[in-house]
Amino acid sequence: MNELTTELMELLAAAAAARERAYCPYSTFAVGAAVRTASGALFYGCNIENAAYPSTICAERVALFSAYASGEREITALAVIADTPEPVSPCGGCRQVIFELAPRAVVLLANLRGAWRITSVAELLPDGFALINRLGGR
């Protein structure tokens, strides 16, 4: 998939809107994310920082955890956006969470300048760590 479908553009717009809600007084690096589930539901996330820095949570995890907390288990797409020179890329911790909670999702990475890249979870984290094999087979 090398084009932005209407569905992916909608998801990216949701991620951009979520980014506006970021709480990032320490890094000033606002990130927004949105996920779509198989049922069509959208869930949003933004990064939330804390003075106790390990307590900070990334936008991708907020969106995924919100979906899971609402009972959704099949994530079909994830969009992430930030003000970066190139399309933003999830941190290592988020890549691992995406690998476990959304293994088959289409991943859209973007920046505020209009650049974007579509990728897969396997491309983001080849040979990710798994206690539970969610993709089938070994």
Catalytic residue among 3, 7, 10, 60: 60
Burial of 45 (0-12, 13-18, 19+ CB in 10 A): buried
Residues facing residue 46 across a β-bridge: 32
Q: CA torsion 29→22→56→15, rounded to 10°?
A: -90
Query: If we measure between CA atoms, which residue out of 129, 16, 123, 120 comes closest to residue 75?
Result: 120
3 in active site = no
Q: Any idea which residues carry the catalytic annotation?
A: 60
